[in-house]
Structure 1
Amino acid sequence: MSVDKIFIKSFLNNFEEESFSVKLWDEEEIKVGQGEPLFKVTLNKPIPKKELLSSATLAFGEAYMDGNLEVEGDFLTMLNTVLKYKSKFPTDFKGLPKIFSNLTSQKKQKEEVSYHYDLGNDFYSLWLDETMSYSCGYFKNENDSLYDAQMNKIHHLLKKLNLNEGQSLLDIGCGWGSLLIEAAKNYKVKGLGITLSEEQYKKFKSRIKEENLQDYLDVKLMDYRELEKSGLSFDRVVSVGMLEHVGRPNYDLFMRNVSKVLKKEGIFVLHYISGLIESEGDAWMRKYIFPGGVIPSLREIISLSADYKFYTIDIESLRMHYMKTLLKWAENFENNIDKVREMFDERFVRMWTMYLYSCAACFNTGVIDLHQIVFTNGVNNSNPLTRDYLYK
């Protein structure tokens, strides 16, 4: 028996509480667990032991992208089953220096952001909703559409900002601008969005003109590190799904830059994917989806906030909302898969299928979470005493 086969069989012992089957490249079929198998995984080629020890998720992810790993049965069920045991997947962080680089220069981070977000507005518009919101939705009802959930999310965040007409609002990592557009329309605030993505900048710029909001909104190609010396100041700051790109060495720098532009008693709402504990991240995700991406834990952000006299007044988890959002995206992606294939090759299609469904499974199994935190810059006694205002 080959070393690779011995190691695969040993690795499968991690899942003995589940029930599925694995067909190996030599036609041998292994039954895992008891009861009727929920799904079947076929490995058409051996996965070398060395690759599995380097990073199991990277090895299996690449095998799926290359068509060497196939799944019979429900793909999401498979991912929900195996990702419950993600902590048992080996990763040699030191042995993958290019993937787990700690380089966080402005140039490097712009390249990393552009890698993901500049795939093209035509691509993202195939599976995002009309708002072009690329972050967790908020499902008030089980039957909410993706558009409903994204609009719910936007207005949930705007309520947490407790906006008043004439105030100023900064959106760090503004995406395609939907939050600021709604803020200007509903609260008559003056807003600035900053992004590193050329594609997002161009789209948001055109949307401002289309909505005739030039007197209220602007967007800049700008790094958050430029805020400290910008001379700008705002009554409110919001950041949605951007902190994950900052990198652990720069969390303190990020918080400092926010503190420099947020007025005293101002409100800062931070929305980001979080981890239960600190981690360097997943090798497959960092190599193929979000280069340089690191997920902060809740506790490290709360700890840092105190250094800048940010008072934490509200924390909310939207973990299950993100699972539902990702499944909506995956459904749209599959419904438009022929159009995606006209833009990209089959390996890319399989990669993004894995990305959307594996993220949904990671939220479902608690591998990752989504938190919204409301801070005030110093003491602010004017906020409502209860959370009732969020649900009116």
Structure 2
Amino acid sequence: MKGGDMWEPVFDTMIRRLIQTGHLQITYPDGRTQSYGDGSGPPVLLILHDPKILRALCLTPELALGEGYMNRQITIKNDALGDLLRLVLRNRRPDAFPFWIRILDRARFAFRNLVQRNTAHSAKSNVAHHYDISDDLYRLFLDDDMQYSCAYFADDGMSLNDAQSAKKSHIAQKLLLSPGQQVLDIGCGWGGMALTLARDYGVKVTGVTLSENQLETARTRVTQAGLSDRVTIRLMDYRDLTGPFDRIVSVGMLEHVGVPHYRDYFDKISALLAPDGVALIHTIGRCGPPIAHSPWIHKYIFPGGYVPSMSELVPALERSGLWTCDIEVWRLHYAKTLRHWRNRFDAQIDQVRALYDDRFVRMWRYYLTVCIMAFEEQQQAVFQFQLSHQRDAVPLTRDYLYSGHIPRLHHAAQ
């Protein structure tokens, strides 16, 4: 019996238990097509080209599906990857998988502290894996300001450029900026937020990144904008910073901190923030209990990364001594952002192929699509934490965010 053949009955049983609603068709390597589900909705046709992929799908289905797609061991009719992932996620239940898969999931969750131990050395290496591949790739699908984080769609029909501008404006409002203030941008990316705050609000910004590519691009942009007197970009770990800063902003960086370091992170925010300062932390988060990180995302996209649940962040926040002045949850904004990115990526696919091989292109498309599904079909959202040392360092209502007027604050007696 061939290796693939011996795993076929196991795979067939697993998929039959998993897909209860919808219509999935699978063409096996021998050419036979089998249907799964209750037949409702349009069929999604999954084609398995290599018998070896059956064993991998039975042992580590999440990792194997991504790798199979990357390596063309798996294809989907009309390349309907999103339809396949949506069908699987809507049917996903822990009891649908064999016991060994559930054991592996529990083991990954139990040992996440070891996997996510981001020392200064490993943190820089992990950042380089994703951000130091080529700025040319990111320029093909990001907005004009190269914002690589969730946009804010205040109006459903907004363009990506406008929605990213709205995100920066919303964050600036929450920071309650005044000209001349010292602002720290932790994980400053290609410098877009730092440039916007310095240019439009008259503050002085120190941005830090661990990416060599981002450092070079951000510094070039600062010089070209004529803002060298107001924006400084450094290649350094946030843990090595000294303060104080009047304002701290961190967008899309907490996802790279890791569970073992949340206490260190918020303690450092507390230590760096001036007594009357305000911090705004923007991060992807889970609106549900913690789960193990995706093994495919960890291996190919964000090594050392993790999407935290609120319950994992709050204990570290409570112990930091900071006031949590406001928590805002953005639902579906990142799904919209990712759809813009994937559409722009697909529109520039020839240019992407000129930079990378077919496996990389399929890997990146799988990454963008699986992230869309995480925000549309799972408990994934974006959290914004507004923090301060003083309970009245920010207005007592959110009215100021929408009136365009920042009220004068009357601090309580200390």
Give the structure-2-normalised TM-score.
Answer: 0.89
Matched, 1:325 2:329: no
Among 249, 267, 280, the alignment partner of 1:256 is 267
Out of 20, 25, 28, the position equivalent to 1:21 is 25
Q: Which residue of 2 aligns with 1:118?
A: 132
**1:247 maps to which of 247, 258, 261:** 258
| AA matched with 2:50 | K
- Check the 8 A contact 2:259/2:312 in 1, yes or no: no
Q: Are residues 1:43 and 2:13 paired?
A: no
Contact 1:267 1:374 in 2 (8 A): yes
Paired with 1:347 and 1:341, the residues of 2 have a C-alpha distance of 10
State the shift of 1:66 in Å: 0.5
Q: Point out the more displaced range, 274-283 or 144-153.
A: 274-283
| Residues 213-233 of structure 1: CA deviation (Å, up to 9, x unaligned) | 112110100101112xx3x21
SS at 1:26 equivalent? coil
The one of 209, 213, 226 aligned to 2:227 = 213
> 1:383 is matched with which residue: 374, 380, 394?
394
With over 3 angstroms needed to count, the CA separation of the structure-2 counterparts of 1:257 and 1:85, relative to structure 1, is: farther
Other-structure match for 1:168: 182
Aligned residue among 177, 184, 196 for 2:191: 177
How far off its partner does 1:267 sit? 1.2
2: CA distance, partners of 1:273 / 1:84:
21
**Do residues 65 (structure 1) and 79 (structure 2) align?**
no
Please state how far the C-alpha of 1:367 moved relative to its aligned partner. 3.9
Q: What are the within-5 Å matches in structure 2 for residues 284-323 of structure 1?
A: 284-323=296-335
What is residue 246 of structure 2 aligned with on the other side? 235
For each residue in 1:310-363, what CA deviation from the matched residue of structure 2 results, as whole angstroms up to 9, or x when unmatched? 111211222300000001000111111111111111000000000001100110
* Residue in structure 1 matched with residue 82 of structure 2 by the alignment: 76
CA contact (8 A) 1:271 1:371 kept: yes
Residues 1:358 and 2:362 aligned together: no
Structure 2 residue aligned with 1:135: 149
**Counterpart for residue 161 of structure 2:** 147
Give, as a single letter, the amino acid of the residue that structure 2 aligns with 1:224.
Answer: Y
Q: Is the Cα contact below 8 Å between 2:18 and 2:92 reproduced in 1?
A: no
Deviation (angstroms), 1:46: 2.7
Contact kept? 2:174, 2:401, Cα under 8 Å: yes
Equivalent residues of 1:99, 1:286 under 8 A apart: no
Q: How far apart are residue 47 of structure 1 and its match?
A: 4.7
1:17 Cα shift?
1.5
Alpha-carbon distance, 1:15 to partner:
1.5
- What CA distance in whole angstroms lies between the structure 2 residues aligned with 1:354 and 1:100? 27
Cα contact 1:196–1:223 (8 A) shared by 2: yes
The answer for the alignment partner of 1:369 in structure 2 is 381
- Residue of 36, 40, 43 corresponding to 1:32: 36
Q: Which moved more, 1:295-304 or 1:240-249?
A: 295-304
Change (3 A) 1:95 1:323: closer
CA–CA separation in structure 1 for the residues paired with 2:366 and 2:150: 18
Shift of the alpha carbon at 1:366? 2.2
Q: Answer yes or no: is the 8 Å Cα contact 1:23–1:41 preserved in 2.
A: yes
**TM superposition shift of 1:87:** 5.3
Which shows bigger deviation, 281-290 or 137-146?
137-146
Task: Name the SS of the counterpart of 2:282 in structure 1.
Answer: strand
Q: Which amino acid aligns with 2:257?
A: V
1:3/1:49 contact within 8 Å kept: no
Report percent identity of matched pairs: 36
SS at match of 2:385: strand
Alpha-carbon distance in 2 for matches of 1:254, 1:98: 17
Deviation at 1:95, TM superposition (A): 7.9
